[in-house]
Amino acid sequence: MVVGGGIIGLTSAFRLAVAGHHVTVFDPSPAKGATWAAAGMIAPSGEIAPGEEANYELEKQALHAWREVSGLLEELTGESLVFGETGTLLVGWDASDRRQMAQFVEIAESFAAPMSTVTRNDSPEVFQGVSSRIASGVLMAGDAWMDPDQAVRLLLAGLNSLGAEIVNEQVVEVGSRDGEAIVATEAREYRGELGLIATGASGLPRGATSERHSVRPIRGATVRVQGLDRSAQPSIRAFVRGRAFYMVSRPGGYCILGASADERADAVLEVGELQRLLRDGLDVIPELETAKVLETRIGLRPASPTLEPFFERLSLSGWAWSSGHYRHGVTLAPLAARSALEFVENDS
């Protein structure tokens, strides 16, 4: 039984179902949590942050792990996941942002991330749509993107074809009785051999506790626009007036602009926050001027105190907790799924 049908729960459930286990996923609204807001970057280099070496090492394995999942999905659904392996272009808006960028590059160098300087003169195509005031940047190879909406659609289709059940109910309590894992919703009680909690920033449901881990929500918003196809070029990451901005472009001109990061748990997008995101985007990529705004999405990233993900066998017999994926949950989902499979195959 998997409680939570975000990218972590669904990818784990899928791996378990492929391995022949009977799986039930509980979620009142699957993939409408942080997964809904995610841009879909698989960007080990672009996501480098001081002290996050462990995350970097994990993320370097992610694209290969996703390709494996994609192969399994293709066998079941006839459709494979789309990956864009275009790298990341890192730029700074003003002199102070370029200093911030230089600091980032120093940290990335200490991680031995693959990087090279790129100039507008030598590679004008890389600067497609980018403000003419930005003459150079740093190209980070190996970074990629995927489409979380497509991944969720295919994972649900794959689960369906493997006979897995999706129960659209909120879990109010989990437990353990007579060697079985118990899930209680408002409507009824379910029993299974083992249980996995993958509830993202919501943390543990009643009945389960952990002395080793905790998560807190870090809220973020992305804006979806249509009108600039930069999908053949690297995703853009920019420092703008001290803030971080990114744009991922998919074929056909669908672009995701992101992202704010605040220690709050509400799902309200404020005017000022939206204005800053769009202003930063327009400054760095003036060609967005005529792009059509499609929608905004907000999600709560599940962050652990160390900012590292965890997979914990809980003291509640038969239960494990997979969370803390913070800014990297889409990237790391197939690795979390491996831990889920290991848990079930070793404990069942």
Ligand X SMILES: Cc1cc2nc3c(=O)[nH]c(=O)nc-3n(C[C@H](O)[C@H](O)[C@H](O)COP(=O)(O)OP(=O)(O)OC[C@H]3O[C@@H](n4cnc5c(N)ncnc54)[C@H](O)[C@@H]3O)c2cc1C
**Closer of 194 and 221 to ligand X (Cβ):** 221
Asked if 213 touches ligand X (CB under 6 A), the answer is no
Residue 8 near ligand X by CB under 6 A = yes
Smallest distance from ligand X to CB 57, Å = 15
Q: Which two tokens stand for residue 229?
A: 């196809």
Q: How far is CA 8 from the centre of its chain?
A: 9
Per rule CB under 6 A, count of chain residues that contact ligand X = 46
Q: Give the DSSP H/E element, type plus range, for residue 322.
A: strand 319-323
The Cα–Cα gap between 193 and 298 comes to 35
* Residues within window 222-241 making contact with ligand X, judged by CB under 6 A: 222
Find, among 344, 149, 159, 154, the residue nearest to 256 by Cα.
149
Kindly indicate which of the ranges 13-21, 33-41, 77-85, 223-231 contains the residues binding ligand X, using the contact rule CB under 6 A. 33-41
Closest CA to 332 of 84, 80, 57: 57
User: Does residue 4 belong to the site contacting ligand X (CB under 6 A)?
Assistant: yes
Between strands 319-323 and 310-313, the pairing is antiparallel
Single out the residue of 13, 41, 63, 320 in contact with ligand X (rule: CB under 6 A).
41
Site membership for ligand X, residue 330 (CB under 6 A): yes
Strand-pair partners of 262: 219
Report the C-alpha gap between 10 and 330 in whole angstroms. Answer: 11
Mask of contacts with ligand X, 240-269, x by CB under 6 A?
------------------xx----------
Alpha-carbon span 37 to 300, nearest angstrom: 9
Interacting residues toward ligand X by CB under 6 A = 3-9, 26-35, 37-41, 170-171, 198-202, 205, 220-222, 258-259, 299, 301-302, 323, 325-331
